[in-house]
Structure 1
Amino acid sequence: MGYELKTKETDNSVIEFIETVESPKKREDAYRLLEIFTETTGYEAKMWGPSIIGFGSYHYKYPTGHEGDFMLVGFSPRKAKISLYFATGDSKREELLQKFGKHTTGKACVYINKVADIDVEVLKDLISQSVTFLQEMYPSQ
Structure 2
Amino acid sequence: MNTYFPAALLAALFLAAPTAGATPPDGPGVPGGAAVPAPTTVRLTVSGPAPATTAPSPEATTTSAPAGRTVTLTCDPAGGDHPRAEAACADLDATQGRVERDSDTACVLLYDPVEVRAEGVWQGRPVSFTRQYGNTCELNARTGAVFAF
- Which structure's CA Rg is the greater one? 2
- Name the TM tier (shorter chain): under 0.3
Greater per-residue helix proportion: 1
How high is the TM-score relative to the length of structure 1?
A: 0.25
Q: Which has the higher contact order (CA 8 A, sep 6+)?
A: 2
